[in-house]
Amino acid sequence: MNPFNKKELIALFILLTAVTVILGGWRNYRLHNPSAIQSDIPIEIYLHDQTGLDSLSEKMDSLGVNVDSNELRWAGRVLGWKNFRPGLYIVDGSHSYDEFLSNMARGIQSPASVIILSGSDPERIALTLGNQLEADPEEFSKIFSDSSDMAQELNLTGEELFSRMLPNTYQIYWTSSPESAVQRVYNEFNRMIADRYRDEISESPYSLSEIITLASIVEMEAKDAEEKSRIAGLYLNRLNRNMLLQADPTVIYALGERRRLLFEDYRLDHPYNTYIHTGLPPGPITNPDEASIRAVLNPDNHDYIFMVAAPDGSHRFSRTFEEHIQASAEWRRWIREQYRLRDQRERLESENQE
């Protein structure tokens, strides 16, 4: 072989090596490009079952994820990520194929934001959790029953466990079991309430369950959060004087429906009717928030023992029955006026339609 041919071969080898390096580098860049998958807004991808690469590509395309579908399928095959586990995965910003596909293949999910509202009942909580997680609401309802294994293990009634579903926004994996989801919220209650207010709870003449029960009444009574401590103080004053609590929310709970109460409703023979039964009701009537619980632990110090609703949604508080009668009369006059205005408005609308 003459020197010229040898030089040509060396040059060809160098060229092939350079091309190989360039192609390999380009291939590696495509696989690990940090901007291969993009979205300007968070896009939630829910996989209900084991999902293949083609189905995933179609789903991402239908949701508006900015990604090259053909390149996504190529990257998945090259990287070996071809099947993806059920869960919630969020595209937020930019992701590489390797990062995103490997997470989905291994089931490394994005947590779901689970919102629990105050003033709920067990059925509503169960439905809320079931709708926000990949779980049957009926399974949550079973947990909030007295016979549930979880309630018994925690030495609580189903109602007591439900009342500890502290209102907040929780980060919980979408495929979590109902038991683990409830445990997550219960742990937060212990951290935010049982541990944080340990001293106040130990100094209270009431047990934690009784504190939560009274807080649940305050939660339903107080439309204005600033009144919670005052309302809690009023109920505690009545308890200390062995008076009936006479809390309307307990009657509504006993009726099983939220509506304006009628005179005969107050005579309903039910253990939760605090107009005929002394002391606290047998259990909570809702899941109170931290402010309501704090109000019971740190109530306003006053002499009020009566209150009546005011037109703005707040309450008028009274120390004597005579003051209460006057405030109640003013409230009834206001109600009658509202009915009169409503009837007048409906009459005028009817006349205009004719």
Examine the domain organization and report whether 327 and 284 are in the same domain. no
Examine the domain organization and report whether 92 and 131 are in the same domain. no
Angle at which helices 53-62 and 69-79 cross, to 10°: 150
List pLDDT tens digits, range 176-229: 999 999 999 999 999 999 999 999 999 999 999 999 999 999 999 998 889 999
Domain of 277, in residue numbers: 207-302
Provide the β-strand partners of residue 88.
46
In a domain, 20, yes or no: no
Gyration radius (Cα) of the chain, Å: 32
In a domain, 350, yes or no: no
* DSSP-derived pairing of the beta strands 168-172 and 87-95: unpaired
Examine the domain organization and report whether 171 and 124 are in the same domain. yes
In a domain, 3, yes or no: no
Examine the domain organization and report whether 283 and 322 are in the same domain. no
Tokens standing for residue 276: 């005929």
Examine the domain organization and report whether 123 and 189 are in the same domain. yes
Examine the domain organization and report whether 298 and 311 are in the same domain. no
Of 195, 219, 234, the position where a domain reaches its end is: 195
In a domain, 4, yes or no: no
Examine the domain organization and report whether 61 and 121 are in the same domain. no
Tokens standing for residue 106: 């291994």
Of 167, 195, 223, the position where a domain reaches its end is: 195
Number of structural domains (the chain) is 4
Examine the domain organization and report whether 92 and 116 are in the same domain. no
Examine the domain organization and report whether 260 and 289 are in the same domain. yes
Of 49, 71, 106, the position where a domain reaches its end is: 106
List pLDDT tens digits, range 98-156: 999 999 999 999 999 999 999 999 999 999 999 999 999 999 999 999 889 999 999 99
In a domain, 22, yes or no: no
In a domain, 17, yes or no: no
Q: What share of the chain is helix, strand, coil (3-state, %, to 5)?
A: 55, 10, 30
* DSSP-derived pairing of the beta strands 87-95 and 37-47: antiparallel
Predicted TM-score of the model (pTM): 0.81
Confidence of residue 5 (pLDDT cuts 50, 70, 90): low
In a domain, 249, yes or no: yes
- The alpha carbon of residue 344 and the mean position of all alpha carbons in its chain are separated, in whole angstroms, by 42
pLDDT of residue 316: 84
In a domain, 23, yes or no: no
